[in-house]
Amino acid sequence: MLSKIERRNKIKTRIRGKISGTAERPRMTVFRSNKQIYVQLIDDLAGKTLVATSSKGIEEGTKCEIAAKVGAAVAKKAIEAGINEVVFDRNGYLFHGRVKSLADAAREGGLKF
């Protein structure tokens, strides 16, 4: 039986085999720890992070509300950097809870994926 981390890594590898980011349409990857949530827009061809945001410094609200604020912030930064379309990489996490609220807020902020 696989542990939780091994299962996530297996899913993550399968997802990353199918998607990759470019400069025009970067990969929006999410990392979720117990306390924080981090988002990066990555150009895989150049191997560079174009935009990054995290929940550090945001303290009021539930975890889902904080994730939504991070999603809105990353959308704002991306549009300022001239990025309108992204490929969403849930990084092996279920599209549920914090990951879903972050993605919905990013969509509302103007990102297309």
- Domain membership flag for residue 47: yes
- Domain membership flag for residue 11: yes
- Domain membership flag for residue 26: yes
Helix axes 98-108, 63-80, angle to 10 degrees: 40
Quote the domain boundaries for residue 37. 4-108
- CATH no. for residue 14? 3.30.420.100
Q: What is the pLDDT of residues 67-111, one digit of tens each?
A: 999 999 999 999 999 999 999 999 999 999 999 999 999 999 999
Q: In total, how many domains does the chain have? A: 1
The amino acid at residue 100 is K
Q: Look at the pTM and tell me if it is higher than 0.85.
A: yes
Neighbouring CB atoms inside 10 A of 37's CB total: 24
- Domain membership flag for residue 113: no
